Structure 1
Amino acid sequence: MCHSGRVAASQRQRSGCVERAAGGVCKMSVQGEVDTIVIGAGIQGSYTAYHLSKHSKTLLIDQFALPHARGSSHGQTRIIRNVYAKTYYTAMMTECYQLWKQLEAETNTELFRPTGLLVLGKEGNPSFQTMKSTLIDNNVPMTTLTSADVSKRFPAVQLPRGVSALLDKTAGILYADRALKNVQDLFRRFGGIIRDGEKVVQIQPSDLVTVTTTAGIYRAKRLVITAGPWTNKLLNLVGLQLPLETLKITVCYWKEKIPGTYGISKGFPCFMRINSDPDVHEFYGLPSNEYPGLMKVCYHSGSRADPDERDVSFQRPSQDVELLRDFLSREFPGLDPNPAVVESCMYTNTPDYDFILDHHPDHKNIIVGAGFSGHGFKLAPVVGKVLSELCLGEKPSYDLSPFKICRFHLKSVL
């Protein structure tokens, strides 16, 4: 649907019911009460709302008309992988793979395509060694390759001397836009309500949380905030600020000099090129797929940007493109060193690159899911499950100590 069509549909909804079930029954009025409100309809919020809708009446709010490309969940593809330097993520990924497969079955839609993932790094790199140990300890199918092995198996990759590779055989590509739409469709199927194009302007904590948007007032027993780069702007309304850094990421697609060289149909895998920092990797790439003949390769960092001003900052020259050009010229010479397509995305990073999955320190019926630090999409099924468990007062399925707010020793902003 075109933008004007979505606006018209949204206006028609606001004149009467918020959303109607398949039988045409009005679920709630413009001003109403539900069990749970989730703010932010990216992949984390949508999966949280999906899990909650199985147990309670749930409202999902987003400030933009859906679908949109303003936050962190848009785009055709994401990497899914078991390999991590931190074992608790690998432990979560076992269930994530199962839940993604379940979503495929429930929606009769292909969401995952196996490709494998090459982790490229120096053998002495602590992060490289930890990732290798994590795969071994969790019995994840893998192979280790020398630089010579990589060159023989993937001739279009030229690694410097001393660089080795791990091949996570379980990894692949998630079809992101498709996955997000299907989660939201299932949420509606379970009776969930979506209000898009409504910006939250006020949150009043209480036993019944009151959320005021540009179009209505809603009350709920519980509130979940999964607003990506807008998280602190909303938390400011409830007296909390987290150490979140919002970054604009340059997403580049590079033309193959010889079509098919790095193609998914030719069996080329995804890759990560890690540096000496144990918590991050510098570059990552996906085989040519979404744009025929173009390979997606990005720098896993970016420049600070206010999410409401990302398009302004996007007009400025980016050093990221230069870093990528240099890297690709050295190690992926089969790509044209000038990007054919340049897009953008937002990361919301924590200082330790771990997520925040916790109650508000002062309001236990407000739950925060934030700081996914550029590696959260693949984990959304379990993140949504955990956030719903926190909402419902159930015992979390995983140890959430790495994701607690108290690790930052914050002070109230009230």
Structure 2
Amino acid sequence: MAVKVTSIRGFNDVLPVDSGLWSHIEGNARKVFATYGFSEVRLPVLEKTDLFLRSIGDTTDIIEKQMYTFTDLHGDSLTLRPEGTASLVRAYIEGKLYTEPVARLFYTGPMFRYERPQKGRYRQFYQIGAEVLGEDSPVLDAEIIEMLWVLMNALGVDGVEIEVNSLGCSACRPVYKERLLGFLREKTDCLCENCARRIETNPLRALDCKVEGCKEATAQAPSVVDSLCQACSEHFSGLKEALELRGVPFKVNSRMVRGLDYYTRTTFEVTARAGGALGAQNAVAAGGRYDGLVEELGGPATACFGFAIGMERLAMLVDKTLAKKPPLAYLIPMGEKARTKAATLSRGLRELGQRVIVDYRGGALKGCMKRADRVSADFALILGDDEIEAGTVTIKNMKEGGQTSLDLKSPAVVAAHIGGNVGN
């Protein structure tokens, strides 16, 4: 027997048992995003490494140890995208979308990071992201956070909590970094190896560290909100006021920083009380403002705000029974003459949007019915000699029992019966 080929660790298949739920989530996201004026973009999974080196930050975990990077046959360094915002900004610049006043864009697809696989966190993971480019109002920030909150409600996610913070701007963040650095230098011995190593280059990361020792050491760290300049302070106040006016529940978390260096001013995170469903970390979505990134990557100065949702993590929180599919009909033709009739009937049903599987294996009816049961068919449609002679099709309800006969030449009548009886 040949050696079985298996998937790469941390790279998972999304099989039919879950793909329906994923489609349900993505479909709801598309509907909600459309009501807020968003359009979809499709982005490549492979980018020039320089894109991420210039955008994410040299001292982030992603750049230091998580990127899948290789040199191609032409000697170019390429990277599987570890996140979607940099790629979207690159497309925004390259496609000259900045010629429009404001761009509202969303994307879906896989991202790649080399990190330890754990519950809800994998090396290939899927995201739904939404970004607004060309607007700097804190009311816009509140509107997009509201959009995410609306989506969570539409999906029936319980216990949603939204935390917000401000990281300041290029004028006031250096002031805060110096205050924080002075505090952390006295705590170096209490910090983990990574935080101690990066204390001079990226002190904010210590606030986001999940190591208990770092949490304790930074518990009394100065708050970034206390160091905001007047413009950033007013922007943050505007965000909070706009969220309150919209009835979006939130709380301020002055310790919250993002793992990517391009964030400015507003940053936020959405968590869910999932009873352990998400493992050690309960974040479902996160994002913020990144007003300098377009300019950093060669475009015009552009204010931007956006977020990304972790699909695997969100899927753990959504009730699978909500992802309803149309009823499945399993059509069983008994004999050659019946197969001809089955082709016509199945085509007519499919044109009406009905899900149909035709059994081509043949054999005894009992075996065909077993196969119908194995694929979880809602109805078995039987075409035997008696049905052909009578011009009918026998419809058996696989879930609740009972059967009836309907006109073989009326797919609309058959489809109406199937669609009107499932679950009744």
Larger radius of gyration: 2
- Which gives a bigger RCO, structure 1 or 2 (Cα 8 Å, sep 6+)? 1
Shorter-normalised TM range = under 0.3
More strand by share: 1
Q: TM-score, normalised by structure 1?
A: 0.25
Q: TM-score, normalised by structure 2?
A: 0.25
